């Protein structure tokens, strides 16, 4: 029988049993030396323990909703009074929007994006609904020509019911 005080581990562990388990939770990698003394002499052995610090948790950023993403990543195209043809500034805005729309629709393959046609308050409701529809159609057609999937684009006219700017003055119009 070995004297229980004859087996010990350094690093402040102290005396241990000759069989069994010992649990520890070091905060960093370290080496332990086991010493055993008996009638035949003394022996020692070194055991190393590598402690790996877990990587910090990866922040999971939720995907923004399709509407929020489209509103954030695209800009509006504007038309001249009583016109539905795309002038250079409007074409440039829609061409810039193309990549954002294509990326969003690839990521959200079942989503649809609504292309809206708006007007100001200077004409009748009926006239502006028709004009808004022609504007939305023109923008949707241009997106389709740029490779945005037409089957994921819907169009709607708000006419003068939902103008982009609600002030009745020249800069707003």
Do residues 74 and 151 share a domain?
Answer: yes
Could you tell me the CATH number of the domain that includes residue 134?
Answer: 3.30.1330.60
Query: How confident is the model over 26-46, as pLDDT tens digits?
Result: 778 888 888 888 888 888 888
Q: Could you tell me if 154 and 108 lie in one domain?
A: yes
Residue 1 has pLDDT above 60, yes or no: no
Residue 73 belongs to some domain of the structure? yes
Q: Could you tell me if residue 173 is inside a domain?
A: no
Confidence of residue 10 (pLDDT cuts 50, 70, 90): confident
Look up residue 75 and give its two tokens.
Answer: 């800009």
What is the per-residue pLDDT for 108?
A: 92
Say if residue 129 is in the same domain as residue 72: yes
Q: Is the pLDDT of residue 2 over 60?
A: no
Q: Same domain, yes or no, for 154 and 84? A: yes
Q: Are residues 152 and 117 in the same domain?
A: yes
- Please give the Cα distance from 42 to 152 (Å, whole number): 80
Spatial neighbors of 76 by CB under 8 A, at least 6 apart, are 93, 164
- Considering the domain architecture, whether residues 70 and 17 belong to the same structural domain is answered as no
* Closest to 143 in 3D by CA, of 130, 155, 157: 155
Per-residue model confidence (pLDDT) at position 142: 98
Say if residue 128 is exposed, middle or buried (CB neighbours under 10 Å; 0-12, 13-18, 19+). Answer: buried
Domain identity same for 41 and 83: no
Residue 59: inside a domain = no
CA atoms within 13 A on the CB side of 117: 26
Tokens, residue 163: 């103008």
Categorise residue 147: left if φ over 0, alpha if ψ from -120 to 50, beta otherwise: left
- Round to whole Å and give the CA distance between 80 and 171: 12
Q: Over 90: is that where the pLDDT of 49 sits?
A: no
Q: How many domains does the chain have?
A: 2
Instruction: Find the range with the poorest average confidence among 24-28, 66-70, 112-116, 169-173.
Output: 24-28
Do residues 100 and 136 share a domain? yes
Structural domain contains residue 166: no
- Tell me if 104 is assigned to some domain: yes
Q: Is 167 inside any structural domain?
A: no
Per-residue confidence band for 5, with pLDDT thresholds at 50, 70 and 90: low
Reported as a pLDDT band with limits 50, 70 and 90, residue 3 is low
> For residue 77, what pLDDT is reported?
95
Same domain, residue pair 73 and 141: yes
Residue 18: domain span: 4-49
pLDDT, residue 7, reads 80
**Residue 54, in any domain of the structure:** no
pLDDT, tens digit (0-9, with 9 covering 90-100), for 71-127: 999 999 999 999 999 999 999 999 999 999 999 999 999 999 999 999 998 999 999
Please check whether residues 154 and 71 belong to one and the same domain.
yes
Instruction: State the Cα–Cα distance between residues 17 and 19, nearest whole angstrom.
Output: 5
Q: What is the mean pLDDT of residues 141-165?
A: 94
């Amino acid at each position: 029988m070995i004297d229980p005080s004859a087996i010990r581990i350094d690093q402040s562990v102290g005396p241990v049993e000759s069989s069994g388990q010992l649990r520890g939770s070091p905060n960093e990698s370290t080496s332990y030396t086991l010493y055993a003394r008996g009638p035949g002499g003394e022996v020692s052995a070194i055991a190393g323990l590598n402690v790996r610090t877990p990587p910090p948790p990866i922040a999971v950023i939720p995907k923004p909703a399709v509407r929020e993403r489209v509103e954030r990543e695209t800009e509006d195209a504007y038309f001249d009074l009583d016109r539905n043809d795309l002038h250079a500034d409007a074409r440039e805005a829609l061409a810039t929007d193309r990549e954002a729309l294509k990326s969003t629709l690839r990521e959200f393959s079942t989503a649809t994006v609504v292309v809206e046609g708006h007007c100001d308050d200077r004409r009748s409701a009926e006239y502006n609904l028709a004009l808004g529809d022609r504007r939305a159609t023109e923008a949707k057609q241009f997106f389709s020509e740029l490779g945005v999937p037409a089957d994921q684009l819907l169009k709607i006219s708000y006419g003068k019911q939902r103008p982009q700017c609600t002030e009745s003055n020249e800069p707003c119009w």
